[in-house]
Amino acid sequence: MSKVAFPFSGHGFADGQLKKEKQAEKVTDSGDVVADDVLYSLTRLADASCAQNWLVRDIDSIKVLSRYTLQIHLTKPNHLFLRFLSFAPASIVPRDVYEENREGMTDLPVGSGPYKVTKWSSGVCVLEAFDPHFQGRAFIDRIEIIIVPETNNEFLLEPKSNLLVVWSGEAAVHSARDWEEAEDLCGSSLLTVNLKKEGALQDIHFRKALYHLINRQKMIVELGEPRLYPSRNFQVNGRPSFFDKDWKGDEALNLLSQSQYQGEPLQLFTYSRHAPDAFWLKHEYKTYGIHVHVNLVSWRDMLKKENMEKADLILFEALLSEGMIRLIEYYQSSNSFIRSHLDDKLSSFVDRNISELLAEPNDESRQQILQKIEQELKDQYVMIFLVYKTVSTMSHPSLRGVKVSPSGWVDFKNIWFK
Query: Residue 179: its pLDDT value, please?
Result: 77
How many Å apart are CA 214 and CA 224, to the nearest integer? 16
Residue-wise pLDDT for 190-246, tens only, equals 999 999 999 999 999 999 999 999 999 999 999 998 899 999 999 887 777 889 999
Cα separations in angstroms, 45 against 75, 82, 105, 199: 17, 15, 15, 36
What is the three-class DSSP state of 356? helix
What is the three-class DSSP state of 189? strand
pLDDT tops 90 at residue 169: no
pLDDT band at 17 (very low <50, low <70, confident <90, very high): very low
How many Å apart are CA 60 and CA 74, to the nearest integer? 5
> Please, which residues bridge with residue 146 across strands?
124
Residue 183, C-beta contacts closer than 8 angstroms, at least 6 positions apart? 390, 391, 392, 393
Q: In percent, how much of the chain has pLDDT > 90?
A: 59
Burial tier of 213 (Cβ tally within 10 Å: 0-12, 13-18, 19+): buried
Q: In the predicted model, what is the mean pLDDT of residues 32-52?
A: 92
Query: Residue 28: its pLDDT value, please?
Result: 38
How many Å apart are CA 344 and CA 41, to the nearest integer? 31
- Quick check: bond before 226 cis, omega within 30? yes
CATH topology for 115-185+391-417?
D-Maltodextrin-Binding Protein; domain 2 (3.40.190)
Select the more confidently predicted residue: 302 or 396.
Answer: 302
Q: For 37-41, 120-124, 166-170, 264-268, which range has the lowest pLDDT when averaged over its residues?
A: 166-170
Q: For 113-117, 221-225, 254-258, 294-298, which range has the lowest pLDDT when averaged over its residues?
A: 113-117
How many Å apart are CA 89 and CA 109, to the nearest integer? 14
Q: Which CATH class is domain 186-389?
A: alpha beta
Query: Residue 399: its pLDDT value, please?
Result: 84
Report how far Cα 6 is from the mean position of its chain's Cα atoms.
15
Residue-wise pLDDT for 356-401, tens only, equals 999 999 999 999 999 999 999 999 999 999 999 887 777 778 888 8
Burial tier of 298 (Cβ tally within 10 Å: 0-12, 13-18, 19+): exposed
Strands (E), 278-351: 292-296, 313-319
Give the sign of the dihedral formed by CA 223, CA 226, CA 228, CA 233.
negative
How many Å apart are CA 281 and CA 186, to the nearest integer? 21
How many Å apart are CA 100 and CA 87, to the nearest integer? 25
Query: Residue 246: its pLDDT value, please?
Result: 95
Q: In percent, how much of the chain has pLDDT > 70?
A: 83
Select the more confidently predicted residue: 184 or 339.
Answer: 339
pLDDT band at 154 (very low <50, low <70, confident <90, very high): low
**Is 115-185+391-417 in the same CATH topology as 19-100?**
no
Query: Residue 164: its pLDDT value, please?
Result: 76
Cα separations in angstroms, 346 against 193, 195, 204, 303: 12, 9, 14, 21
The pTM assigned to this predicted structure is: 0.84
Query: Residue 149: its pLDDT value, please?
Result: 62
How many Å apart are CA 326 and CA 355, to the nearest integer? 16
Query: Residue 157: its pLDDT value, please?
Result: 54
pLDDT band at 412 (very low <50, low <70, confident <90, very high): confident
Q: For 152-166, 216-230, 335-349, which range has the lowest pLDDT when averaged over its residues?
A: 152-166
Query: Residue 2: its pLDDT value, please?
Result: 30
Q: Where are the domains of the chain?
A: 19-100, 115-185+391-417, 186-389
Show contacts of 305-309: CB within 8 Å, 24+ apart. 305/340, 307/269, 308/194, 308/269, 308/337, 308/340, 308/341, 309/194, 309/196, 309/197, 309/340
Domain range 19-100, its CATH number among 3.20.20.140, 3.90.76.10, 3.40.50.300, 3.40.50.10710: 3.90.76.10
Provide the b/e sequence for 17-40 (b: ≥16 CB within 10 Å). ebebeeebeebeeeeeebbbbbbb
Query: Residue 106: its pLDDT value, please?
Result: 58
